[in-house]
Every structure is written in structure tokens, then in C-alpha cells.
Amino acid sequence: MKRSSITPPSDRPVASARIPGVPLRLVLGVVGVGLSIVVDRPNGLLAISIALSLAAAIAPQYLLGWALIVLLGVSQLARHTELTWQFLVLLAGLHLLHVLSMLALELPMRSWADPAVFVAPLVRFVAIQLPTQALAVVALVFLAPGAHGHRPVTFAAFALVGIVALGGLMLLGGRT
């Protein structure tokens, strides 16, 4: 049976363009391997994270994409807290791994999908990453200890600013 001989159901609209599910799996593997290489971690975890990346792309039903997210996130706990491009790439990359892993669960490797399926998750990804990246930069600039070991702003001062901001929001919310 050829794809051209299959007639689409009459109750569903026909998609003009279709892409296979395989490229999604390839992107999941490439992003996972790329993050594994970019992230600075203790020795021995590179091979494990690359293997998890490839296994998550091949068999997403075993939820190995999320195991990779946990491994890469936990490996950062031993690092010195500072604002680096690797941290910002890791922050966006872990979120992208989550989105790609969810899509890989829904789209089998041999499936065909309309490109419009990917628009909403990618728009949400960008909408979440813009404020998250900005907040990460602000938090690390003000709260991460410097070379001398002191923080520019203490947690107490940061909490005080947050309390004032929440109070202002409550006052604004009460007026409307």
C-alpha cells in the first residue's frame, strides 16, 4: 500500500505539509548530546549523559529524557555559583529537553505530523525562557558570591525587596 493511495478521512481536514517523526527524535538526541558536552561536570558522567541522550531519542517511552534532565541538573550542584554562558544554555536546554521529550512521547517514530503541531510548544518555550533567563541573570548577579566570597546583596535584602514588590502588587490589585 502506498501513501498516495490512502484517502484521508472525510471528517478531518487534510494537512498540506507533513513531516515525519524521525527528525524530532534526532533533534532530541542532538540537544541531549550537545548539553552533555557543554555542561562542565565531574569525570565519568559525560559517557552516561551521552548514553542517556541517545537512549532517550531511541526509546522515549522509558522516560530517559527526564532522567537526563535530572542528571545534568544534579551535576551542577557541585559547581561554584556564577553567571556563565554554560549555565544559561543549560537552563534553556533542560527546558527544551523537557519539551522535546514530551513531543517524542506523543509522536511515534513512524508517524507524520503537521508542522503546526510544533508551534504552540515552541511559543510556550520562548514565553517561559525570556523571563526565566532574565531572572537567572539578575539572581546570579546579585546573589552569587563574588571572588572574595561575599554576596553583593544578601538574601535578607533580596527577600525585603520581594516583600515590598508583593505589597505593591497587593495594593494595585485592591484598587482595580
Q: What pLDDT is stored for residue 2 in this prediction? A: 61
The continuous run of DSSP H or E covering 150 comes out as none
Task: Read off the amino acid at residue 131.
Answer: P
Q: What is the DSSP string of 52-118?
A: HHHHHHH-GGG-HHHHHHHHHHHHTTTS-----HHHHHHHHHHHHHHHHHHHHHHS-TT-EE-GGGG
Question: Rounded mean pLDDT of 27-33?
Answer: 96
What does the pLDDT look like over 114-149, one tens digit per residue?
888 899 999 999 999 998 998 888 888 877 776 666
Which pTM does this prediction carry? 0.76
Q: What pLDDT is stored for residue 139 in this prediction? A: 81
C-alpha cell at 74: 544534579
What does the pLDDT look like over 40-53, one tens digit per residue?
666 678 899 999 99
Compute φ and ψ for 113, nearest 5 degrees: -135, 150
